[in-house]
Structure 1
Amino acid sequence: MDSNTKNISGSLCPAMASADILGDKWTLLLLREMFLGTTRFGAFQKAIPRMSPSILSKRLKTLEAAEIIIRKSAPTSQAADYKLTRSGRELGPIVENMAIWGMRWRKRSIAAQDCDVGGFMWDFHRTLNTEGLPDGETVILVQISDRTDLSMWWVIANSESVDLCPTDPGHDVDVYLTATLANLVALWLGDVGVREAVEAKTVFLDGSRHLTNTAHDWMAQSPLVGVKPASSGR
């Protein structure tokens, strides 16, 4: 083995040492969820449905061994809470800046990906702007017109919480939102506005007149909607 090979395999570069722990999509998605407030194993599964339980368990153990998170037994149940340490909290700006970079430089490839319906709807329901909704409970039925499986999602919102159900919870629906998954993602990413999408008939709203007329006030949007893609070739 020559000296150059030794330098690569035994590098003291801190960036490489960090990449050994963080350079994995599942780890980054898991950390993102923790920065958004998710702490339970079951909640991680709902937010990242493509991540198998075995991979989730392995990544949690890796982060715990690296002292980026700690596992704490919940006092009122058998479930455990996973909490960020000081080291873990310092990763917040790093993960956020990676997301901003992705929106600026990789947005086209992000939008072209085979989007996971469950993961997207989890993001959609928790970015609903409840301040734009009337007081009390509002039930939004999201119908994804180009999917045969997991095509209907009930979003139940009030001023304190927003719940997501893939099966009919038995509540009266206040407004129906229908679109293909690609058009719904475009709306969420801010590529198209609500009025523009409705006029173009890529998104359909039906139900309470007040809710359909004020959809631009309550519609869910990505927290990074203000990040514009970089100009091509720059």
Structure 2
Amino acid sequence: MRTYGQYCPIARSSELLGERWTMIILRNILVGFQTFNEIADGAPGLSRGLLSKRLRELERAGIIEIRPKPDGHGSIYEPTQAGRELSELMLVLERWGRRWAELKPEHAHPGVVLWAWASFFLDRDRLPRRRVVIRFEYPTLPGPARRSWLLIEARDVEYCLKHPGGEEELIVVVHDPQAFVRWHMGQIQWRDALRSGAIEVTGSPELARALPTWNRHGWAADDPRAGYDGSTRHEPVPELADTPT
């Protein structure tokens, strides 16, 4: 780990937290992801080798605790007290980024948006009780990245990179990834995205009408808790769940 050679607490903190991917890994752990695969899924583009290295660095710094799973297969990653206190920093960064950081095309990977939506921001009370498969297509992306799926079963949701089997009742084509991000964040209306051609939907009319009502506007400007509200299957640390912005 590189050092600035300064006693300043900001410099020392930056040595621990300023390495590439560290804050993304911490974000995933603080919102409740506990397994290696869950943390990796929330960091597309991060190699598993570098993820292992960063997790070990965070453990050595006393920011996370790594312990075996009860069944002995794999590990559980949880924040320590020092790690939980970083939730305040995360909320400050979220507020600052919402206000000042420009949303560029390279930030708008539609598959990442769909993963975040499925993991944190779906209103599960509005989901169908039956099994539903929805395909999302991204014509602007290359190769296998052009498709992903949502599998809904008993009001639980799984984000899939391969077809989960069964009939696809709805197909959502995202022609403009930035518009998909802005809708997800509550900055534009679904009907406007459809009208402009940014998003195209075919299939079940019932599901097509229902889908936009499932969105709880992740990290939206009017979301007083930046989307960390504890209503998903993952339990975030109390500071992220309860601290108002």
TM-score band, normalised by the shorter chain? 0.7 to 0.9
29, 42, 48: which one pairs with 2:43?
Answer: 48
One-letter identity of the residue aligned with 1:197 = A
- The answer to whether structure 1 residue 138 and structure 2 residue 132 are counterparts is yes
Once the 2 structures are TM-superposed, how far is the Cα of residue 33 of structure 1 from its aligned partner?
0.4
Determine the structure 1 residue equivalent to 2:95: 100
Change beyond 3 A, Cα 1:200–1:119: closer
Determine the structure 2 residue equivalent to 1:39: 34
Runs of 4+ in 1 over 4 A off after TM superposition: 114-118
One-letter identity of the residue aligned with 1:121 = L
Report SS of the residue matched to 2:148: strand
TM-score, length-normalised on structure 2? 0.80
Report SS of the residue matched to 1:32: helix
Q: Matches of residues 72-151 of structure 1 in structure 2 within 5 Å?
A: 72-106=67-101, 108=102, 110-113=103-106, 115-116=108-109, 118-126=111-119, 127-149=121-143, 150-151=145-146
18, 22, 31: which one pairs with 1:27?
Answer: 22
Provide, for residues 109-139 of structure 1, a one-character-per-residue CA deviation record: whole Å limited to 9, x for no partner. Answer: x333254455333213222222222223332
* Partner Cα distance (1:39, 1:66) in 2: 18
Determine the structure 1 residue equivalent to 2:215: 219
* Partner Cα distance (2:195, 2:5) in 1: 59
Determine the structure 2 residue equivalent to 1:3: none
Gaps of 5+ in 1: 1-7, 228-234
Corresponding pairs, count: 219
Determine the structure 2 residue equivalent to 1:207: 203
TM-score, length-normalised on structure 1? 0.83
Larger radius of gyration: 1
Once the 2 structures are TM-superposed, how far is the Cα of residue 220 of structure 1 from its aligned partner?
6.1
Once the 2 structures are TM-superposed, how far is the Cα of residue 199 of structure 1 from its aligned partner?
1.9
* Partner Cα distance (1:116, 1:217) in 2: 22
Gaps of 5+ in 2: 224-245
* Partner Cα distance (1:185, 1:215) in 2: 15
Report SS of the residue matched to 2:21: helix
Q: CA RMSD in A?
A: 2.3
Report SS of the residue matched to 1:49: coil
Determine the structure 2 residue equivalent to 1:4: none
